[in-house]
Amino acid sequence: MTRANARTPVKLHKNVTLIRTSEPVIAEELLARKSLGRLILARLSETVLLVKPDEADAAVDELRKMGHTPRVAR
Amino acid sequence: MASIPSTGTPADRPGRPASPFPEDADPRFVFRTLLGRTPLAFLRGIAAGRGHESEAVRAPTLAGELTDQLDDMLSLAAVRKELSDEDRLALGLFGLTESRSWPLAGLRHTLKALAVDADAVIAGLVRRGLLAVDLPPEIEAADPSHAITAEASGDLEIWAHPSLTSGGRPRLPAEPPAATAGSVVQVRESDGLEPILRLAALWQRTGAGPLRRTQQGVLYKRDRERIEEDGVLSAAVDDALVELPALPTLWIGLARRVGLIHVDPGDESLQAAPAEFWTENAVHLPQMIASAWLGIRSWNEWADPTPTADGPAPGPPLAFLRPAALLWLATLEPDAWTTLDDLAARLDAVAPGWERITFEDPASPAATNPRRLKNPNRRGPALTREAQAARVLERILLGGAYALGLVRVGEEKETNRRAVQLTPLGRYVLAVGPPPPPRPTFEHFLFVQPNLEVIAYRQGLTPPLVGRLSRFAWWSKIGAAVELRLTQESIALGLEWGLTASQILDVLSQHSQRALPGSVKDAVDRWADRREQVTFYSAATLIEFNTRAERDQAMISWEAEGAPRRPFVAVGDRFLLVENAQEIPTARISTTASRDYRLPPERCVAVEADGVTLTLDPARSDLLVEAELARFADEGPPPSSAPSRAGGARRKFLVSGASLDRAADAGLTPPILADWFRRRTGEGPPPAVRLMMRPAPTSGGAKPWPARRLLILTAPSADLLDGVLQHPETRPLLGDRLGPVSAVVPEESIDRLRIALRAFGLEFELG
């Protein structure tokens, strides 16, 4: 098999619930909000937050309560 | 204001038991199933009548054959040929109202109001296997054509085969009501936009937040109040000739029947249809809503349909009178009028009792006797039969039918009596006229104000334009002029429904009478930008690579091969975020492991022998477990060997007293931690962790463990110690054996043991 045709070994994480912000400071703001912070399991990068899988609706509600109008990708 | 009772199937049939079939069940399947429950002899009678020879020995088999026959063109044509006008009318009612089933009482009521011998026609269709009866289990073995004649049979549901209900128009009654002789003046006709605008408003409200329902199909209080207190949804129809009750219930019922809102099977909530609904259906929406109104049973013109303790709710007969009233109007020539009085007289002649508002009311009340209803406090003062008849027709024809644009209304010049006539839309819906001409439109009908309010002149609105505006502008007032409002939420909703900021501005510019104010453009752009600040992914895919270099290389080459609709996003060192899993180039990857986060978490952590070291299985672990572990354990040093597969090497986490203290501070109690160990390792916490998880002893409260020094005898061999421990002279002088050659010697036995061993020629010395 040539290098060009080589398949890259990967691990897939499917149906993950995430929040992505355009700026790190917005992620900080979200994490600082107590009612939203409890729904967030981890910060995967400066701008990507991992949300508890069964708390998606609550997280969207919280974002809206904070005045955000998130783009919701389903 | 009447409350919204329910929005599910049970509400479509107030006071009736829920159907055992799902709401979206295939009607052919239901028909076949119901037919299959009838006695074999009954089915053989149907087969003989159709000349169908079968060797089936079981009812379901023969029912399947008889059902399939109705999908065969030739057989269906033969069956249709045998239908009488009355049969066609009965079957046509299913198609006219787009109802898969009818309650027997309702079907009887409508047919009687259309001068048809209802019982004979229904029984005849049942005997020929063209209607199927949903019989309760206790009488399933009965002949359904007899069962429907029983006294309490009104609640039975009647299903028709879909092939028989579509196509063709229902036969109209033979003798039309008397047409007006003189001229009709003060003619009024609605623009038919009212229900479309209200349904559009309901659609966008539901899009902004689904309507959540209890298991009984009733809206939760918060959502019920959201709808009931909505100024647009609950306000009376501006152009109404007759005020209708419980309008939010009507709009919800109509929206569900046309498919603008639908039930989410996951949580039973009511959700907005995709925005494409408008693209595909807007042109046909007036007809769709008209058919939905003809068939709606979750609402009626009389009152709140909530079942009451003292009997079934009033109203169901009214719901079944709608098609009959309109079909009578269809018997008139297109330009002829009839008065409500003449229509009532025609109904009186063919179906005494047609005006009753519950099925329990006597069918033929004396014309001059005032009739008291069961609960006069709730239903208002008693009405004479004539007054009730007039009110019933007014509410159906001047209320719903007028608002929907199905009838026009005037006054007979000589008598000042109300006269009605079907509009072209009404005749089209009843399949007695061609499609109505499109509404005349004018392009610039919007007045966009700098304060973000938009005035729309009704004359310019069409159903497709209502749909386009509904995507991004909030309907705030519906009257002679219509008002919309642009808000951050409405723009966000528009973007969510697939529009871009420039498309939104284009729609406004195209229909605005003047150039758009700068403030409007600024606000839309600003809100659109703000929306891009936060993206919520409810089901994203993260691709995890071995190394950052591999991830970056893949990202470049994949995007070069074909740009995804949404760009891939690098996350952290080794992850790639993909919004749509369909865009993953599966031919370019080798999946070494896969985790679906909608499934329960997997056991992917092993406890090492020391009890405090936890090792992650990279093939089965997920992102959640790392976050969970980080709360009560610390990651150990990375393994020296390079990872051999995506997901990395076996990472280790160490549990310590300090890490457990941190967990406790974060609210991770021992029961929660124990539950985590069971889910992730398959067993409870190891003893070493349990040791650290013990609550700190209170000062002075804990009893110290006893400790003492022991004298240990060490034999030269295990065999010799075996002998010493077994012999009766020496056994009592020794304590517990500690190992193969070691045993405890109690302090007080040391001298006696020395003497006893000497007897065997053995000595020991104290060290």
**Burial of residue B113 (number of CB atoms within 10 Å: 0-12, 13-18, 19+):** buried
Pair B546, B574: CB distance under 8 Å: yes
Rounded Cα distance between B278 and B281, Å, is 5
Rounded Cα distance between B144 and B121, Å, is 14
The Cα of B588 is separated from the nearest Cα of chain A by a number of Å equal to 5
Q: pLDDT tens, B463-498? A: 999 999 999 999 999 988 899 999 999 999 999 898
Mutate to test the interface with B, among A2, A11, A52 (most CBs of B within 10 A): A11
Rounded Cα distance between A42 and B623, Å, is 9
Residue B572's CB: how many other CB atoms inside 10 A?
A: 16
For A7, which of B488, B533, B589 is closest by C-beta distance?
A: B589
A1 vs B: CB within 8 A: no
Cβ separation A18–B589 shorter than 8 A = no
**Residue reference for tokens 């749909």:** B467
Cα distances from B29 to residues B98, B162, B262, B344, B438, in angstroms, run: 17, 11, 22, 40, 39
Task: Provide the CA B342 distance to its chain's centre, in angstroms.
Answer: 44
B383 vs A: CB within 8 A: no
A22 vs B: CB within 8 A: yes
Task: Give the strand pairing for B418-422 and B338-339.
Answer: antiparallel
Can you name the residues that pair with A71 across neighbouring β-strands? B535
Rounded Cα distance between B388 and B131, Å, is 33
Pair B63, B32: CB distance under 8 Å: yes
B303 vs A: CB within 8 A: no
The residue ranges of every structural domain in chain B are 9-165, 184-372+383-429, 446-531, 541-587, 605-693, 711-758
DSSP, collapsed to helix, strand or coil, labels residue B56 as coil
B622 vs A: CB within 8 A: yes
The Cα of A35 is separated from the nearest Cα of chain B by a number of Å equal to 15
A3 vs B: CB within 8 A: no
Pair A64, A45: CB distance under 8 Å: no
Q: Give the residue among B207, B243, B405 at the shortest CA–CA distance from B235.
A: B243
Rounded Cα distance between B577 and B459, Å, is 48
The pLDDT of residue A40 is 93
| Positive/negative CA dihedral, B272, B276, B278, B281 | negative
Q: Give the residue among B121, B132, B45 at the shortest CA–CA distance from B88.
A: B121
**Which residues have C-beta within 8 Å of that of residue B437, sequence separation ≥ 6?**
B424
Q: Give the residue among B359, B427, B357, B438 at the shortest CA–CA distance from B393.
A: B357
Rounded Cα distance between B635 and B653, Å, is 4
B208 vs A: CB within 8 A: no
A31 vs B: CB within 8 A: no
Q: Which portions of chain B are predicted below pLDDT 70?
A: 1-20, 140-141, 151-154, 167-170, 303-315, 360-383, 563-564, 639-649, 697-701
B181 vs A: CB within 8 A: no
Residue of chain B nearest A18, judged by CA positions:
B537
Max CA separation in chain B (angstroms): 144
Q: Could you tell me how many CB contacts below 8 A there are between chain A and chain B?
A: 175
> A11 to chain B: which residues are within 8 Å by CB?
543-544, 591-595, 618-619, 645-647
The pLDDT of residue B586 is 87
Cβ separation B647–A74 shorter than 8 A = no
Rounded Cα distance between B684 and B355, Å, is 71
Cα distances from B493 to residues B281, B380, B504, in angstroms, run: 20, 44, 11
Kindly provide the ipTM of the predicted complex, given to two decimals.
0.96
Rounded Cα distance between B300 and B314, Å, is 9
Cβ separation A53–B624 shorter than 8 A = yes
E strand spans, B210-286: 261-263, 270-272
Mutate to test the interface with A, among B472, B486, B536, B628 (most CBs of A within 10 A): B536
Report the amino acid identity of residue B701: G
Rounded Cα distance between B644 and B652, Å, is 16
Task: Provide the CA B540 distance to its chain's centre, in angstroms.
Answer: 23
Pair B114, B122: CB distance under 8 Å: no
For A10, which of B491, B543, B619 is closest by C-beta distance?
A: B543
B489 vs A: CB within 8 A: yes
Rounded Cα distance between B11 and B389, Å, is 25
User: What is the DSSP annotation of B283-328?
Assistant: GGHHHHHHHHHHH--S--SSS----BTTBSPS-HHHHHHHHHHHHH
B666 vs A: CB within 8 A: no
Rounded Cα distance between B59 and B53, Å, is 14
Number of continuous H segments (helices) and E segments (strands) in chain B: 33, 23
The pLDDT of residue B2 is 43
Q: Give the residue among B713, B729, B709 at the shortest CA–CA distance from B721.
A: B713
The Cα of B134 is separated from the nearest Cα of chain A by a number of Å equal to 39
The pLDDT of residue B520 is 96
Over the range B453-476, which residues count as b (16 or more CB within 10 Å of their CB) and which as e?
bbebbbebbbbebbbbbbbbbbbb
Q: pLDDT tens, B668-701? A: 899 999 999 999 999 999 999 999 988 776 666 6
E strand spans, B167-263: 184-188, 261-263
DSSP, collapsed to helix, strand or coil, labels residue B651 as coil
DSSP, collapsed to helix, strand or coil, labels residue B375 as coil
**Which residues have C-beta within 8 Å of that of residue B279, sequence separation ≥ 6?**
B464, B467
Q: Give the residue among B461, B458, B485 at the shortest CA–CA distance from B473.
A: B485
**First and final C-alpha spacing in chain B:** 99
CA contacts within 13 A on the Cβ side of B302: 27
The pLDDT of residue A2 is 46
Residue B98's CB: how many other CB atoms inside 10 A?
A: 16
> A10 to chain B: which residues are within 8 Å by CB?
543-545, 589-592, 646
Q: pLDDT tens, A21-43? A: 999 999 999 999 999 999 998 89
**Which residues have C-beta within 8 Å of that of residue B556, sequence separation ≥ 6?**
none
* DSSP 8-state symbol, B740: S
> A12 to chain B: which residues are within 8 Å by CB?
541-544, 584, 591, 593-595
Q: Give the residue among B575, B573, B681 at the shortest CA–CA distance from A16.
A: B575
Cβ separation B592–A9 shorter than 8 A = yes
Backbone angles phi and psi of B340, in degrees to 5: -60, -35
Rounded Cα distance between B687 and B689, Å, is 5
The residue ranges of every structural domain in chain A are 18-65
Contacts 24+ apart (CB under 8 A), B244-247: B244/B301, B244/B395, B244/B399, B244/B400, B244/B403, B245/B2, B245/B301, B245/B302, B245/B303, B245/B304, B246/B1, B246/B2, B246/B3, B246/B4, B246/B299, B246/B303, B246/B304, B246/B305, B247/B198
**Residue reference for tokens 């994949």:** B558
Pair B669, B660: CB distance under 8 Å: no
Over the range B19-54, which residues count as b (16 or more CB within 10 Å of their CB) and which as e?
bebeeeeebbebbbbbbbbbebebbebbbeebebee
Rounded Cα distance between B203 and B273, Å, is 8
